[in-house]
Amino acid sequence: MKIIIIGAGRMGLWFYKYFTLKNHETYFYDSDSVRVSDLKEKGFRYSNIDEIKSFDIVFCSTNMKSVPGVIESVKSSGFKKYFIEISGLKTPIVKNLITLEKPISVHPLFGPGARTAKGKKIIHVPLKEKEEESAIVRELFPEMEITTISADEHDRLVTQTIQLVQLISMIYNRLSIEGDWGSSQKMMKLVESVSLYGSDELIKEIFELNPHTEELKENVMDVLKKIYSGDYTVIKKRYFEDLYKKAYKIMEDSL
């Protein structure tokens, strides 16, 4: 297939290389002229967005706030084929996505440091034609583990897992002086740095746009009240040591 990647950030380039290795005819587009020049010098194939109708797939890898604008540009071009987006939140953009002819929404649960696609997890959020969308996702990502869930369920899970971990690690890292870090502080910094949302801009978007962020705040405050009252304790011996080991193993597997 002929694929154009809109947004040549780290994740966009990861998918550019992935599709190229899969023998798809892959191009990129980015609004940053300096980045475009640099990537063209390195051999990446560039296409102007005006030529979008010649592609089979438009693959959107921009920040979430840019997705509606990309969708409008794609619609105005008359593009009727598959539009795939990979944002970390779904409910804020579903209403825009379903105005397209063939929208597909996925969320890769790995970062641009992933060395291989084999065994990596990707979430598929059905939008209009579930079976057709699912077939395309399976065709494009045959080695990945694909989970299908609704947009609201996806965003709630993001709150309970990724956002919570990100919040804890950010607070922890910003309350300690880097020069005084021991092994546990370094581990927490590593947790933050390899997060799916290692970019400050993406972290800010997730916390601002996720409709379940208020629920996260309430849950955190509830736990804090229990801790301060003495009602919330860790009973299991070596709990944090086991937790760090598990986190380190997960990070090792993802790099």
For 224-233, what is each residue's pLDDT tens digit?
A: 666 667 666 6
Residues 118, 22 share a domain: yes
Percent of the chain with pLDDT over 70: 63
Tens digits of residue pLDDT in 189-212 = 555 554 544 555 666 676 676 676
Number of compact structural domains in the chain: 2
Taking residues 57-85, what's their average pLDDT? 94
Q: Is the pLDDT of residue 145 over 60?
A: yes
CB distance 167 to 216 below 8 Å: yes
Taking residues 239-250, what's their average pLDDT? 64
Residues 141, 37 share a domain: yes
Domain boundary among 149, 176, 205: 149
**What is the pLDDT, as a whole number, of residue 144?**
95
Residues 123, 83 share a domain: yes
Residues 179, 108 share a domain: no
Q: Is the pLDDT of residue 249 over 60?
A: yes
More confident residue, 219 or 102: 102
Average pLDDT, the chain: 81
Query: In angstroms, how far apart are the furthest CA atoms of the chain?
Result: 64
40 band by pLDDT with thresholds 50, 70 and 90: very high
Domain boundary among 149, 166, 193: 149
Residues 223, 244 share a domain: yes
255 band by pLDDT with thresholds 50, 70 and 90: very low
Taking residues 2-16, what's their average pLDDT? 95
Q: Is the pLDDT of residue 61 over 80?
A: yes
Residues 107, 62 share a domain: yes
Residues 167, 129 share a domain: no
177 band by pLDDT with thresholds 50, 70 and 90: low
**What is the pLDDT, as a whole number, of residue 152?**
84
Residues 193, 104 share a domain: no
Residue 186 structural domain = 152-254
More confident residue, 189 or 109: 109
Residues 175, 67 share a domain: no
**What is the pLDDT, as a whole number, of residue 194?**
47
More confident residue, 254 or 214: 214
Q: Is the pLDDT of residue 163 over 70?
A: no
Instruction: Judge if pTM exceeds 0.85.
Output: no
49 band by pLDDT with thresholds 50, 70 and 90: confident
**What is the pLDDT, as a whole number, of residue 170?**
61
Taking residues 152-157, what's their average pLDDT? 82
Q: HEC states along the chain?
A: CEEEEECCCHHHHHHHHHHHHCCCEEEEECCCHHHHHHHHHCCCCECCHHHHHHCCEEEECCCHHHHHHHHHHHHHHCCCCEEEECCCCCCCCHHHHCCCCEEEEEEECCCCCCCCCCCCEEEEECCCCHHHHHHHHHHHCCCCEEEECCHHHHHHHHHHHHHHHHHHHHHHHHCCCHHHCCHHHHHHHHHHHCCCCCCHHHHHHHHHHCCCHHHHHHHHHHHHHHHHHCCCCCCCCCHHHHHHHHHHHHHHHHC
Residues with Cβ within 8 Å of 24's Cβ and at least 6 positions away in sequence, in order, are 1, 2, 3
CATH number for the domain including 47?
Answer: 3.40.50.720
Residues 224, 247 share a domain: yes
Domain boundary among 149, 175, 203: 149
Residues 14, 57 share a domain: yes
Residues 37, 60 share a domain: yes
Q: Is the pLDDT of residue 161 over 70?
A: no
Q: How far is CA 205 from CA 63, 66, 105, 218, in A?
A: 8, 11, 18, 19
